[in-house]
A and B are shown apart, each in its own frame.
Chain A
């Protein structure tokens, strides 16, 4: 299938086809990234060949999991379950007549996502909505040698309060997933967002999460990274309105030869905005992690408070971690800090706990749990915290983390 046949095979009105076509052209101009580019430095992007995967243009004929009826489920990027609710609206853009204006970052994979997403979905949370139960979005990857492009935009109206759980999971297949989620938050709103990446071990995921936070709104988001062969999540949080605030947290656990890659942007545009980032990871066996973060304070953003901390514990000598924090500040009236550490389990802590009669193995587990506890306490959505703790524990125990 050539490119035009590929685009033709995707459903949608003319306006959507035009957007796809233009995005594919832009992707072609931007070119496939190389490991020399700053954005991809330390990553294994040079090992990725798009020729090894085929876009999943039709929804796989997988029967719906009856347990998933309350979820919004995207299977290989196709919306297969909408979980309609009175509280919010789920729109399929490939069935929509009137055009929707996409914002696509100037990035090869973002353009590819816009071009090849078969089923872009909009979730609209109306103004002043108070949604008590979390909205659960399941992003599943199921087709072997498939390449999928889930695309989701969540628009949160002024004054709305909502909790969102987004889960990435997969079958035991070798596949590439390029998901993109945008969360556009109006004014005076409150959004809690929990992302869980629990893909199987042969999945390459190049994900993106873009958040914009309006005046006096609060975003509290966390990600838990457990699975995948190479899993990258690029998060941009733009604090656009005065008094907007964001908490960004992450826990990542890597073992075997997993590579977990996080790239974050805390972009302060409005006055008196606040962002607080804490990413903590634990690596075992031959796993690697990359963290690159930028705090960017625009000229107009006086009164900014921005903090960024990344810490990684290495349980084995064969692990590898890189942590690159950056600041770019154009205003004098700001408080910013960044900190990063990569270290093995502290010998003094280990000796201390062992001297209390705790066996070495349990000591290391206790130290790791204590280390992660700082983030666990910040996880935004209480009703899923137990599940997350169990997943963390299961990974710790299975991999000897």
Chain B
């Protein structure tokens, strides 16, 4: 059983507060969806959880299986079982997927076999794995590639930062059902950052959180995602403004 616990997390970048007290616990096998308007800090949260340089954590902490990882370098977090599927996977010329998996700490047995098996499942069978990771791939292919790495590295907790963007309907279905399968078979815990409930049709969330101005302002069951798609975030953004102005009185 693994658990990622985020407690009262505050962070800033260049003097600007971007996380204002995030509290969230993700357990093995659970799927949490994080939804919120553009610019609310969802991707920043993903980067900070993974330890991307450039942010200052001013308060609170992050623990993974009881170990405080708040100040650990990115690669150590990954080795402890955290994974981030990036919103914009970067192209790395000359570094192949087998190179990457070989170098990563996880003992991935029979890498080539595993790659070709998963590539088939994810619709990447036509990709030449001897070329650089993400090089010359379409947006959708890159997202399938992120998923392939996720299932190959077998993390305990995965953060999916807009994994759906760039994927077509078929791709979305393939990718989300592959990850759903990992939550069942490998007990993977997932934090899904998305704007759309489409991704959540196959990858069924246990909890939906609404993220506004750097913190979770509401949480609810899976149905909340559908409600959001109909009504938008107005209800939460307005109430926040009201509370802020009331606080000002």
- Interface residues of A, Cβ cutoff 8 Å to B: 346-349, 351-360, 362-363, 366-367, 369-374
A373 touches B94 (CB 8 A): yes
Is the CB–CB distance between B95 and A353 below 8 Å?
yes
In the complex, the answer to whether B105 meets A367 with C-beta atoms within 8 Å is no
User: Please, which residues of chain A bring their CB within 8 A of the CB of B84?
Assistant: 355
Nearest-Cβ distance from residue B161 to partner chain A, whole angstroms: 11
Verify if B114 is at the interface (C-beta below 8 Å from A). Answer: no
Residue on A with the closest CB to B79? A357
Chain B CB count within 10 A is highest, among A347, A358, A359, A371, for A358
Interface residues of B, dominant DSSP: mixed
Interface of A, helix, strand, loop or mixed by DSSP: helix
Query: Contact at B90–A358, with CB atoms within 8 Å?
Result: no
**Which residues of B have CB within 8 Å of A371?**
93-94
Nearest B residue to A371, CB-CB: B94
Determine the distance from Cα of A354 to Cα of B153 in the docked complex, in whole angstroms: 13
Cβ-defined contact, A356 with B104, below 8 A: yes
Q: Given known contacts A355-B83, A355-B86, A356-B104, what 17 new A-B pairs fall within 8 Å (CB)? A: A347-B53, A348-B90, A353-B95, A353-B100, A354-B78, A356-B75, A356-B153, A357-B153, A358-B103, A360-B75, A366-B100, A367-B92, A369-B94, A370-B94, A370-B95, A370-B99, A371-B93
List 15 interface pairs A-B (beta carbons < 8 Å), by A numbering. A346-B90, A347-B53, A348-B90, A351-B50, A352-B89, A353-B92, A354-B78, A356-B78, A357-B79, A357-B104, A358-B78, A360-B73, A360-B75, A369-B94, A374-B94
In the bound complex, CA of A355 to CA of B137 (Å):
20
Contact A370 B132 (CB under 8 A): yes
Nearest CB in chain A: distance from B148 CB, A: 12
Per the 8 Å Cβ criterion, residues 2-36 of B in contact with A are: none
A357 to B74, CA, bound (A): 7
CB neighbours (8 Å) of A348 from chain B are: 90
Q: How many residues from B make CB contacts under 8 Å with A?
A: 29
A352–B51 CA distance with the chains assembled, in angstroms: 11
Minimal beta-carbon separation of A273 from chain B (angstroms): 28
Q: Are A357 and B92 neighbours in the complex by a CB distance under 8 Å? A: no
Question: In the complex the two chains form, is B95's CB within 8 Å of A355's CB?
Answer: no
CA distance A371 to B101 in the complex (A): 18
User: Is B226 positioned at the interface, with any CB of A under 8 Å from its CB?
Assistant: no
B153 partner residues in chain A, CB cutoff 8 A: 356-357
B92 near A352 with CB under 8 A, answer: yes
Q: A354 and B73 in contact (CB under 8 A), knowing A362-B103, A366-B103, A370-B132?
A: yes
The answer to whether B93 touches A358 (Cβ under 8 A) is: no
Are B74 and A351 in contact, with the CB atoms below 8 A? yes
Decide if B43 is an interface residue (CB 8 Å cutoff).
no
Interface membership of B156, Cβ < 8 A: no
- Give the residue name and chain of the A residue nearest to B81 (CB): A357
Q: Chain A contacts of B94 at CB under 8 A? A: 369-374
- Contact between A354 and B103 (Cβ–Cβ < 8 Å)? no
Measured in the bound complex, the distance between the Cα atoms of B99 and A349 in whole Å is: 14
A372 to chain B: which residues have CB within 8 Å? 94
Q: Which residue of B lies closest to A347 (CB)?
A: B53
> B51-97: which have CB < 8 Å to A?
51-53, 73-75, 77-79, 83-84, 86, 89-90, 92-95
State A374–B86 Cα separation when bound (angstroms): 25
In the bound complex, residues from chain A placing their C-beta under 8 Å from that of B75 are: 354-360, 363
Least CB distance, A346 to chain B, in whole angstroms:
7
- Whether B183 is near chain A, meaning CB under 8 Å from some CB there, is no
Set A347, A354, A359, A373: member contacting B93, Cβ < 8 A? A373
- Distance in angstroms from A372 CB to nearest chain B CB is 7
A281 CB, min distance to chain B CBs, angstroms: 15
B83 / chain A contacts, CB cutoff of 8 Å: 355
Decide if A357 touches B105 in the complex (CB within 8 Å): yes
CB-defined contacts of B50 to chain A, threshold 8 Å: 351, 355
User: Smallest CB–CB gap between B53 and chain A, Å?
Assistant: 8
- The yes or no answer to B165 lying at the interface (CB within 8 A) is no
